[in-house]
Structures are given as structure tokens and as C-alpha cells.
Amino acid sequence: MKLKIKNFTEHLIDYSSISFLESLKGKNVILDIGCGEGEFITELASRYPKKKFIGLEIKYGRIMKCLKRAKLWNLYNLGFSICDATIFMNKIIPNESLNKVFVNNPDPWPKEKHHKNRLVNSNFLNIIYKKLKRRGNLYIKTDDKEYYRYIKSNVKNTSLIEDESLGFIDNLVPLTKFQELYIRNEKKIYSMKLLKK
């Protein structure tokens, strides 16, 4: 099964190579953390062909769907990486190299005993802060109100600034398949935009 991924190497990021780091320099770089099957980041990459897009996902089956989608759409400004988000952000992405970061519907781990497993916490937000360029943006969306409040409280322990005046975030970017489902079921999506000054 793992051999199938070799058929899509033109869209699979080899983050151990120097060429990957070189490819970030001087580019407008957008990262989608936990990109799922890639529908969101693929749509963005098709809209903005001069920007560089990276989709990050830890599950092999999802990455395969992402790679197939990128190949089908013939998008060479889009690459995908299969890696743990904390490792990727801590060890691979250089500081001040990202213009925008999207985190769509991270797992809320609703039980209190599982809160330690949540990706978006003050430690992770501080890592993202370091990786953003000056005036870079972090966009977070969740359907879980309690997790939204948890994230907002964690933002206070960072240097990120919340922009509460921007209610148009949902109109600027495509929806994930989960967000489309939430809208059909009249379920609220909570959005925030965080800035690095």
C-alpha cells in the first residue's frame, strides 16, 4: 500500500531535502494544518497560482486522496506532507517563513481528561507565531463552542493579536467538506483570525 505514494512524488514534499527549504524563500507561503482530504487547500491553490501552498496531514489514506486531487487539478504550487503537526512546525518549518496558516476543525477532544491531546493550545500557538512572517495571519475554525473558548483563552498566553472586527473570514475562503455539512445542518462555525504584528 505504501508503494502507491511513489506515483505522486511531484506533489509529495520531501521535507528532509534542502530544495524544500529553498522553495520557501521569497514566496508567499500558505499552510493548512490537518488538511484532511485536501479539498480546502486545493481550492485555494487553484485560485492563487502564484502563491505556494502546503497541506499537512498525519493520516496516510487522507494524504493519498490529497495527492490524487493535486495531480488531477495539475497544481504545481501545491505540495503535501505527511507528518505530525507539532514535529513539522517545531523541527521543519523555518522561523518567519509563513504568510498564512489555516487550522480547520481541529479535533476538540471534548472529554476533560483528553484535553491534553488538543493540538491548538498556547504552546502550539507560540510555535506558529515564530513561524509566521511579520503581519502573518493564523485562521482557526471549529464547530465546537467549548474548544473555541479554550483556544481564545490560550491566545492570551501568546503574542498573537485577535482581530475581532473581521466577520468576513468565511466569505474569503472555501469551506471544508465538514464545514459544508455543518452549514447544511445549521450548525454554527466559530472563526477567529489571529495576527502577528
| Residues labelled as active-site residues | 107
Torsion angle in degrees (nearest 10) through CA of 118, 123, 127, 132:
80
Beta bridge partners of 138: 101, 194
Which of 140, 192, 142 has the alpha carbon at shortest distance from 162? 192
Decide: 162 and 194 in contact? Cβ < 8 Å.
Answer: yes
Q: End-to-end alpha-carbon separation of the chain, Å?
A: 45
CA of residue 94 relative to chain centroid, distance: 16
Q: Which are the contacts of 107, defined by CB distance < 8 A and separation ≥ 6?
A: 117, 118, 119
Query: Cell for 99?
Result: 504568510
Query: Cell for 112?
Result: 476533560
